[in-house]
Structure 1
């Protein structure tokens, strides 16, 4: 028996989720990378690297991986994979643009609605001004409609709730670990949101839902000195 596979790298969350999806497909098929390579043009090393989470594999490689695991063209898993791969590609593009712009938002200096609007627009600029379609894809579509993203970026409105606020920030490449000062800015301007305002996210975003919820609850607990208790059952 070979050495156990290293844990998936979640440095870029969407790439990690894509890698885990590939690993799950192989687990269901009950085959090794070597066995997969025998029925494909790709090597076992290529398949293993594709499922590492360290990089996003090309579509042709990922499709070859899934076919080697018995995932056919009409499978619902293939539709799920298409969405995961697209979201991971958008996330990497946003991060690349973010690194190139040099713009940095400062939510810690927010005092009022105008400041919060400006900070959100800075987050959008720091992300390289991604398309509203890309933002909706990153956020999960229904959580951040394109028209809503456009309205926020145009300074015509603020997010309607905490969940939409987090969705906007996520679509701009703001990581969960960067959310606490944004939570503070939201509370300062919008007041204390009730538990019902942190809506449960869609099942396809379970990892973000858990992490964002935990980050928010830990932040709230830190303000009150209480032990964190999730506002949403996940």
Structure 2
């Protein structure tokens, strides 16, 4: 397998490397001398880092590295953190950063797959999402923290860098949260308002002259999007209060009256007995305790029992420890299990009993089975 370093460099990466190499040769500086000049201005860059930036076999350097490379070559005075260069030096800086952005877009290879429209052709939310992601790629995909700083801070004019820096130092919150910027870059969301749209575009290097077209595009997307419909939540009474308990009792009584009007007296008796037996049996087996003996006759008469835990068993299992604790069963030869225990009841109810219990459950979703004095 051939290593990438043996391949020919990408075209825009080669152009950036050639531009930086010619710039250093024109300044007649070595990489060590460039690193010393930058150190005077408070920038710590090693000669090897500068050499890799001007090479063709390494990845695209970071934007601050390219800026420092240009400053070291064309800066007329670098001391105590001040970098000064004339108009020609400013043009060199813009050209170098332009080549760097093209090389970065080429290295990432995501811009062509976005198929983003121009701001004048944005109509839908999908168009806006793709266009904002494309603006980020055209800016060279800067780090999100850098994008946030360029976007500005709350309480300062966006076109005043000095005021923005002072506001940042005072601890003012940023206009664009990093989480929102991440969702926009990953095309998983959009800005929440127009202020965040403008902040994101400023972070991507969009000038104020191009902002009006983006504002009109944002308004078109809002006009084309249907208004969000809030789901209507059903009122949920507070059953912990006396009013909530009274509402629940009234609802149960109404549902019970509807059910009683449709059932015969015999069916009503089976519903009450079967519901009570199911409730007690389920709680007893779930907690690992035996069903009280007083319920044995009730479950035997109605032939309602809980299904066995094993699908191959036709009877409800009763743990041995239950009989031993109660003083009966195989662990005590002198006694025997009570015939009215739950172990002697068939596990499967009849078809008619099933239909009655199902009807009760459908009609009484919130009804609690119980006894009355």
What TM-score does the superposition give when structure 1 sets the normalisation length? Answer: 0.41
* Larger RCO: 1 or 2 (CA < 8 Å, sep 6+): 1
Higher Cα Rg: structure 1 or 2? 2
What TM-score does the superposition give when structure 2 sets the normalisation length? Answer: 0.27
Task: Select the structure that is richer in helix.
Answer: 1
